[in-house]
Chains A and B, each alone.
Chain A
Amino acid sequence: MAKRILMIDDEPNTIEVVGDRLKEMGYEFEGRSNPKEGQWATSKTRPDLIVLDINMPGWNDGIGFLDSIRHHPNLLGIPIVIYTSLNIRELRRGAEEAGASGYYQKLSEDKAFYDKIEKLLG
């Protein structure tokens, strides 16, 4: 069965572009552009991987958001890959310390980002 990826990013166009590519790569894909609606956490099928933007409205502290997802009872143990427009070293380190499986800046690290997903999902 195809592995399932959930993406949370407040920019719908980003979800569309990344989603098309991931589907082309053979994954099942679900995107959520409202980080606050919380539906992603209660959906019935557990994703195999989460792609998360760390810079979203309503969440001044991106690491806090990452933390809340990582410790959500429905999502425990699922690898989280950060995909964001911010290229800030402290944030990168913070994300890794908070348990993210990777941190990639949109555009400049696209190739590494898709490679990482393939590596994580086998």
Chain B
Amino acid sequence: MKILFLEDNPLDSRRISGLLAKESADVDVDAVETLADAVSRLRQVQYDAILTDLNVPDSEGLDTFLKFQESAPRMPIVVLTGQHQDESTAMDAVHRGAQDFLTKDDLSGKVLRRTLKYAIERKQMENLRQSFVSIVTHELNTPISVIHGAVDNLKEGFLGALNEAQQKYLDMIGSNAKRLHRLSNDIHDLTKLEGGRFHLNVGEIDLCLPLRNVCDSLEGLSRQRGVRIEPNLPGTVRISADEERIEQVFTNVIKNAVRFADARVDVNIEADETQVRVAVEDDGPGLDPVDLPMLFQPFYQGKQKKAADGGSGLGLAIVRGIVMAHGGTIEASNRPDRRGARFVVTLPKSKGG
């Protein structure tokens, strides 16, 4: 097995390469000292796995892992942590898709080799799972779109006029086909986010633009529900982000707020030197404390779920995934001052910074 090994400390690098070489003749280690070097090797050589320190001269912490994941999304990655570092960054990497982590002071050739072998197996399963989901969701979309198209043609009356009951049933079939389609698209997006394969199209944007778009596009729904959206947006707030995805995030969050609000949804922006915080607050029943820890989990539907809203149960999980891919965070809580729920999205002004 061929391993790409990134470690800037020459002593550690030699020691760990030596451990692996002594353990087995079938391990071939390519050691480099900078991330830039590692990424350029990845383009030239076919490796089986990556073993990497997180703090190297040209990259630090979780970013090192994320950059590897971006350049080689199908490659298993094992993270190494220093003696005095805490494990939390390494655990973050595991949550974001690293196969394992090891502490440098606690290494043997045997453990290293076995960890790498397992990492390769695990990643292979993960790649299979992702391809499977991707194929299944697309295969589902074809028949669903045929059902929907056929219903649409019937509803248009191409085959003769329909009575009210027939119309009602066709509406039902049509809206449920749409719901299946949304579910399948959402599963596809979520799987890509989990695998770090969600491509962001990052550019310099004015965050107020997508926010205004979202508020405008939800006007119909809010009027229908008797809810007023009150956006309190300053002139411009420049950040580097994927505008379309950011719009997707706030469509989801603000639509939820409109759904649960009694009369009013507030959208506020607060910016400082490094980050932007967008708070979306409603005056509805608020969140059940029982739901709070689970809110962003896929398919979790809280106690207050309103029937037949057509949600897939994946919206907030996707929202969180997109926000995290931007290097941001999302938090949900109840308003301290009054009744209602509060969602706060924090985004760095420049991605990863």
Contact = CB atoms under 8 A, between A and B. Distances in A.
Interface of A: 11, 13-14, 17-18, 20-21, 24, 55, 85-87, 89-90, 106-108, 110
A85 B141 contact: yes
Contacts of B143: 13
Interface residues of B, number: 21
Nearest to A20: B153
B144 interface: yes
B181 A107 contact: yes
B146 interface: yes
Nearest to A53: B142
B201 interface: yes
Contact of B146 (A11, A87, A89): A11
Contact of A17 (B141, B153, B185): B153
A24 B142 contact: no
A18 B150 CA distance: 9
A85 B199 contact: no
Contacts of B185: 87, 108
B204 interface: no
Nearest to B148: A107
B335 interface: no
**Chain A interface main SS type:** helix
Given A14-B149, A89-B201, A24 B156 contact: yes
Interface string B146-190: 101110110010100000000000000000011001000100100
B135 to A, nearest CB: 11
Contact of B141 (A20, A21, A24, A106): A106
A85 B181 CA distance: 10
A11 B147 CA distance: 13
Interface in B102-142: 138, 141-142
B350 interface: no
A17 B153 CA distance: 7
A107 B158 contact: no
B252 interface: no
B153 A107 contact: no
B275 interface: no
A17 B149 contact: yes
Nearest to B188: A87
B99 to A, nearest CB: 26
B199 A107 contact: no
A107 B138 CA distance: 13
18 contacts: A13-B146, A17-B153, A20-B158, A21-B149, A21-B153, A21-B156, A85-B141, A86-B138, A87-B185, A89-B201, A106-B141, A106-B149, A107-B148, A107-B149, A107-B177, A107-B181, A108-B181, A110-B149
